A and B are shown apart, each in its own frame.
Chain A
């Protein structure tokens, strides 16, 4: 099956994951890459994604749980508490008066 970005059909041969795709993924992940990094990661990702294609032949039971053991929600009443003092937390961040500084929205 071709990939949606059209780079490759299966694990055999073919051209490497293209630079445009790597740059696009990096943008979504909030990473800025140099041209050398783009070239290197294109090669590495291509290698790894080809290997992942082995899963295409795996049969499965059609169930996809998110945890390896059953995990159920454990609910309790909301109980307000102050485990860590806000001053201590603010001391670790860039603050102005009692507020945390952040970038422009």
Chain B
């Protein structure tokens, strides 16, 4: 049971310090009966009745969906009280949650540093509040990355495991709703709550049944390619973690080669921007959010006016890249090639899973950077920071990030990847690790 009695006032005080929520519930009534009730938060690209759903974008200002996303509805039915919507990069476009129009979350371990992205607010709330569970969304690493920077457990299920109904799309073939918590036991509790077929999302209807029965993890594979370009401190903490996995926990660590991984980042950004550029076509000043009152102009001018004024810098950049890579003359070279490369990468993972239960890498190549450092990065450098989180996301494989060490009091993360539909291996691994490793959390609750 949490030591902290939550109230909207307390959450507002917490939010003033860390900017983790873009909107807070006005009434937490049912939390008086805690337990059995529990608190959770949802990333702002998930629709919830009674809240705006702005996905970090000015263009969705004022949009109040009249329904709950399936994942949110299922959490509420299970006794969940939604504390609020968490801050994020606009439409999920970012690695640090700095591309946010509704507050940039500050890292609970050091407020001069970022929380990671794009589910940054959710990871930070999870770090700050005991017994909290956050609904996050990952397209290319948006759960693993902030989980790593904020020192929590972040589970991204197999593509299609959790219904995307009520999720504001970024990349339809990549988006996955998942969970963040301080302890792996919470992930085991809540994954079955949000998982399962939903007629409102056909991609969730062909999934294998969720089986969380006991299983053994005996061998993990570490690809050589993942060990390049790491910060030396992160590399050292990861190596210590490998020693503990091999020694204390008694799991064999096998070094492998996965040459196709070097193509994952390019394939991912082509598919992601292509899908995003079509998904964002619906934001035109009429149907959702910002309403353009100037209806007397030609429709192209009407659409362009709203979009140009309301999309942020990174959203425009990704729309431009995605429009270019889908264009006649470039489609074969970029978009179709990227789709084919994704299949090759899936095959390579399948080959590794013949000889190992899980694939293991660090989560991010560095610990949470300062806002000054981020300011100096070129867009391509920001994209390249995702080189470890992108491969399983591109392949739709379930994965989990967990803290593996602390570097000058900042958490470093490691990421395990399992075959499609084998989330249970990740949970077993996380529970084993959590018995051997002492996690740390800063003082949060006011």
Instruction: Write the residues of chain A forming the contact surface with B, with a CB cutoff of 8 angstroms.
Output: 1, 3-5, 21-22, 25-26, 28-33, 37, 41, 44-45, 47-49, 51-52, 54-56, 58-74, 76, 83-85, 88-89, 92-94, 100-105
Contact = CB atoms under 8 A, between A and B. Distances in A.
A88 B399 CA distance: 39
Given A58-B344, A94-B293, A45 B321 contact: yes
Nearest to B263: A58
B441 interface: no
B338 A68 contact: no
B347 A31 contact: no
Contact of B266 (A31, A51, A63): A51
Contacts of A93: 286-287, 291
Contacts, number: 187
B67 interface: yes
B262 to A, nearest CB: 7
Contact of A29 (B320, B341, B384): B320
Contact of B316 (A31, A71, A72, A83): A31
B305 A32 contact: yes
Contacts of A104: 295-299, 302
30 contacts: A1-B333, A5-B329, A22-B320, A30-B304, A30-B307, A31-B311, A31-B319, A44-B317, A44-B378, A44-B379, A48-B269, A51-B383, A55-B338, A61-B344, A63-B343, A65-B343, A68-B397, A70-B206, A71-B206, A74-B205, A83-B67, A84-B66, A92-B62, A92-B63, A92-B64, A94-B291, A101-B295, A102-B295, A103-B295, A104-B299
Q: Which of A4, A47, A71 has the most CB of B within 10 A?
A: A71
Interface string B297-337: 11111111101100100001101110111010110011011
A79 B202 CA distance: 16
B213 to A, nearest CB: 21
B342 A48 contact: no
A27 to B, nearest CB: 8
A69 B295 contact: no
Given A31-B304, A45-B320, A71-B202, 10 more contacts: A22-B320, A30-B284, A61-B340, A61-B347, A65-B339, A69-B420, A71-B160, A73-B202, A89-B66, A94-B286
A94 B320 CA distance: 29
A4 B206 CA distance: 40
Contacts of A29: 277, 307, 319-320, 323
Contact of B199 (A64, A70, A76): A76
B346 A56 contact: no
Contact of B341 (A60, A74, A92): A60
A52 B271 CA distance: 11
B295 A55 contact: no
A84 B63 CA distance: 15
Contact of A102 (B260, B286, B304): B286
